[in-house]
Chains A and B, each alone.
Chain A
Amino acid sequence: MGHSAHGDNYITAEKGLMSWFTTLDHKRIGILYFVSVMSFFLIGGIAALLLRAELFSYNAAPNVGEIFKNGDVYNQVLTYHGAIMVFMVIIPGIPAILGNFFLPLQIGAKDVAFPKLNLLSWYCLMAGAALAVTTMFTTRIDTGWTFYTPYSIRTQTAVSMMVVAAFIMGMSSILTGLNFIVTVHKLRAPGMTMHRMPLFVWALYSTAIIQVLATPVLAITLLLLAAERTFGVGIFDPKLGGDPVLFQHFFWFYSHPAVYIMILPAMGIVSELISTFSRKVIFGYTAIAYSSLGIAAVSFFVWGHHMYVSGQSELAGTVFSFLTMLVGVPTAIKMFNWIATMYKGSIQFASPMLYAMGFIFLFAIGGVTGIILATLALDVHFHDTYFVVAHFHYVMVGGTLMAIMGGFYYWFPKMFGKMYNEFAAQLSFVFIFIGFNVTFFPQFILGSMGMPRRYFDYIPAYQPLNRISTVGSWLIAIGFLIALYTIIDGLINGKKAPNNPWGAKTLEWQTTSPPPVLNFDHEPVVTAGPYEYK
């Protein structure tokens, strides 16, 4: 590529839109992901607001006018909300945006191992997304993001097209994961041993392993579903003695580990934030690092806890429940380690730290309700009710999205070389955090009362709590609008950021803000761990 003048950073090194679409710089690719994932988040978020608006009142009479003439449109919006948020926002969210940008920086590398593959991976995501969005203008899709057979075989909607879209996005995820594994193995700076890697890198590394090992199983499952719809191959079709429940096994064999694709990187970010803003070495580095790997390993053997009432055998249910309890332990370890890191620290309440603490708060609730759901007898009652909806939103939104926001504010000065409006950032936290609890805590109660998920309409007794929940969704929306403001305002009016505004110790803060094209003016030599605040 072109030779850049000395003193140029990665943003100014090349000009023009085309220089972005053909870039092989991991930082620029991170920015590409950032813009696209934000757009997807906007679409998924609008879908969520529509769903909540419809649920404001009971009675099939539509609340949102003509949009929801009947259950069909509601089911479609629900499917798009789920599919977009899972496949296009949360899975690529942290690894592809922040991971792409900071993994090489944090290990002192000049780039990821395969820059071309990295760009291809972004194009895969975009191609898949384009296809997914196209289905909105055809017959749409109404299966829920889980594509359960045989409904997904029988429905007249654009399932095959959506499934191909998810397949292509899966390719993107595999390529990113593969790239990260090789990068971590091969491109660490001199002195950067595995045990000196920042915990965010450890988390991305564990995530990448899951991405590479689990996604192919989703790929074949989705291909079989498409084949089922096109040729009627019969594998999931009870008419020929096929087993629709086998689809669920295949699907969750990927999709449960995928939950950890979503949460592990978030935990990595929180480790960075807690250490930096407590100005203290992370407590139990080894335990946190290896618990990521432990979670990744056990995550492959717990998929059946989504299927306690699917008709799988009692023995299978028992084994899966037992293994699920085991996954709880490394998660608990991480929580305690973060709290212990704050002990005798010097805690700065900057917006990234607020988001990190918000993460711990919400993830604690998401975690304990996870144990409730892992318990066989209780899950029979809670399965597919709003209790589950509340639980996974506490984990995925309360967890992952909080971490994305925290990580984003943390690294914003490094990415763009500018500071954002701290007051507005804190305000966004207040709205998102309160709004989130107002939206989703009532859903735990609704679930206990027995309200099933994916319901377009419900019995009158559930109305008051649903109303509270809907109002909460508006607060969240305001919070994210404020966050959007901080980004735009920061990019335009932001003060110039120093190289290390937070006094952090990891490598990315040793270079300029924003970093030069090759990341470091001199190749860094590492002599100590990532959190040596002495």
Chain B
Amino acid sequence: MSTSRVIDGVNVQTHYRDVEHQLSAAKQGIWLFMVTEILMFGGLFVGYALYHMRYPEMFAEGARFLDWRLGFINTLVLIFSSFTVVVGIYYCQANQMKKAAAALGVTILCGVIFMVIKYFEYTHKFHMGIYPGNMLDLAKLNHHLAEAGEPLIKSTNLGLYFGFYYCMSGLHGIHVILGMSLLGWCMFRALRGDFNANYYTAVDGVGIFWHIVDLVWIFLFPLLYLVG
């Protein structure tokens, strides 16, 4: 039963002894949830590794179409956003909620930049006829390549690579959007005055989530853009 009482300016639910007790439980819960996130992406990484071993040439041909510079910019953007989220938590601890909200706002902005770059990457590929799996239009792609005077594609199953590309970056993209919404919610609550130096669990939790999303990207970037 979730009745609660206020200790040190924090709502502590009845089944917890004190602020510290409640916070440690929340953190453990969040970390466990992060474990499930990592395992979920883990399935995709295993699949990627298996097929990469089976079709190394095809994966190399696929990676040609990913611009590592865009990927690199996105990596920098996300690493920077991990920093700003930490800044946000720092200001929460210091009880400066306006600054905390601003830091979270910058983090969301980084997410937006990331997604916009992703949008341009995706639409460019669609334009070339690069869709996932069976929908990949090899004739159209080769036509584009011939016009540009680049070598044509030899692998007939190139769609498989892009099946992975879209699944992995797509699922990650969904997580970025989720993270941005959660950050927005934290920002709103910070401005409303829900948090104080003793209580900012939500920011802490969303921060951990955002770090994990970044971490997944740090693995995705070399696998998709560089290893090919």
Contact = CB atoms under 8 A, between A and B. Distances in A.
* Chain A complexes with chain B: yes
A34 B20 CA distance: 34
A186 B42 CA distance: 28
Interface in A503-527: 517-518
Contacts of B25: 113-114, 182, 185-187
Interface in A205-246: 212-213, 215-217, 219-221, 223-224, 227-228, 231-235, 237, 239-243, 246
A220 B29 contact: no
20 contacts: A1-B1, A24-B1, A111-B2, A115-B2, A115-B13, A178-B33, A182-B29, A212-B32, A213-B35, A216-B36, A216-B37, A216-B39, A224-B167, A231-B131, A233-B163, A233-B167, A234-B160, A235-B47, A235-B133, A242-B51
B96 interface: no
Interface string B126-149: 000001111100000000000000
A418 interface: no
A177 to B, nearest CB: 8
Given A111-B2, A114-B29, A178-B32, A237 B15 contact: no
Given A227-B167, A233-B166, A241-B157, A212 B36 contact: yes
Contacts of B43: 216-217, 220-221, 224, 250
A25 interface: yes
Contacts of A221: 43
Interface string A56-89: 0000000000000000000000000000000000
B39 A217 contact: yes
Contact of A234 (B3, B21, B159): B159
Contacts of B181: none
Contact-residue size bin, chain B (C-beta under 8 Å from the other chain): 35 or more
Contacts of B188: none
Contact of B133 (A109, A114, A234): A234
A517 B2 CA distance: 10
Contact of B2 (A24, A181, A187, A235): A24
A110 interface: yes
A234 B32 contact: no
Nearest to B15: A110
Contacts of B39: 213, 216-217
A271 interface: no
Q: Dominant SS at the A interface?
A: helix
A179 interface: yes
Contacts of A475: none
Contact of B160 (A115, A231, A235): A235
B132 A233 contact: yes
A182 B33 CA distance: 11
B24 interface: yes
Contacts of A235: 47, 51, 133, 160, 163-164, 167
Candidate in A3, A115, A219, A242 with the most chain B CB atoms within 10 angstroms: A242
B185 interface: no
Nearest to A23: B1
Contacts of B28: 181-182, 185-186
B178 interface: no
Contacts of A237: 133-134
Given A109-B15, A178-B32, A242 B167 contact: no
A116 interface: yes
A291 B90 CA distance: 44
B41 interface: yes
A220 B175 CA distance: 14
Contacts of B65: none
| 4 closest A-B pairs by CB | A233-B163, A234-B133, A232-B134, A220-B43
B182 to A, nearest CB: 15
Given A1-B1, A113-B25, A223-B171, A231 B35 contact: no
A25 B37 contact: no
